[in-house]
Amino acid sequence: MQKYPQLRAFDLTARNHPFALVCIIRLLYFLYMHQKRSIIETTNSPLRRVSLYLSLIWLFVFISALAITTYVFISFFDGSQSWISLLQLFCLCFGVSTVVYIPALVIFCLARRVYTNGPTKSIGAGALALALPWIIASIVVVFYRLPHPLVFITMGVLGFGVAIWAILIIFHSLNTKIPPQNQSDDSEPV
């Protein structure tokens, strides 16, 4: 008999759960259980809700990018290939897709930090720096009429969304006054 039967769904050795589903459940459980309390959390601000939605969208982008990359890697996988060709294929698939899933993970973390701790100028500047290459790449690809324009239009919409969110964060952090900290009598010099 297990000590904690309610955690059986999070056990990797359970044969009735696929590995990917267990990983997603663990990730969502971690995000739900480890929320920080902050001043912005007690208010129902629109920036907080937008940050939550943005973090969920970019979490979906991250998971789907990894799933598509894994699917492409497995579809090119052939049993007769040598380990050198498999290493090259792995580097090609997962190396090229880092352009998508690394910024998606970073933007997810930034949006999650704004959701839990509130906006700062550094988060806004970092998100804006991550959004600009997506916007530029999507505009260039649409004008050169490369194949699969829907993918690049989607990248542009996501990039513009992050850029607008980053500008809102920067303006919000510039207009928010930080209250001065109270100094106690013990800290005053004699």
Q: Give me the half-sphere count of Cα atoms (radius 13 Å) on the Cβ side of residue 112.
A: 17
The answer to whether position 56 is within a domain reads yes
pTM: 0.67
CB 124 within 8 A of CB 169: yes
Please report the pLDDT score of residue 4 as a whole number. 47
Q: Which amino acid is at 160?
A: F
Please report the pLDDT score of residue 129 as a whole number. 93
CB 147 within 8 A of CB 94: no
Question: Which is nearest to 31 in space by CA: 55, 63, 57, 49?
Answer: 55
Please report the pLDDT score of residue 151 as a whole number. 77
The answer to whether position 12 is within a domain reads no
Range of the domain at 165: 45-175
- The number of distinct structural domains making up the chain is 1
Q: Round the average pLDDT of the chain to a whole number and report it.
A: 76
Please identify every stretch of the chain with a pLDDT value under 70, giving residue numbers as ranges.
Answer: 1-44, 78-81, 177-190
Which residues, 6+ apart, have CB-to-CB distance to 155 below 8 Å?
Answer: 134, 137, 138
The answer to whether position 36 is within a domain reads no
For residue 49, give both structure tokens: 């809700």
The answer to whether position 125 is within a domain reads yes
| Cα 69 from Cα 95, distance rounded (Å) | 10
The answer to whether position 159 is within a domain reads yes
Each residue of 69-82: pLDDT tens digit?
A: 888 888 877 665 67
CB 170 within 8 A of CB 131: no
CB 152 within 8 A of CB 138: yes
The answer to whether position 99 is within a domain reads yes
The answer to whether position 97 is within a domain reads yes
Please report the pLDDT score of residue 87 as a whole number. 84
The answer to whether position 155 is within a domain reads yes
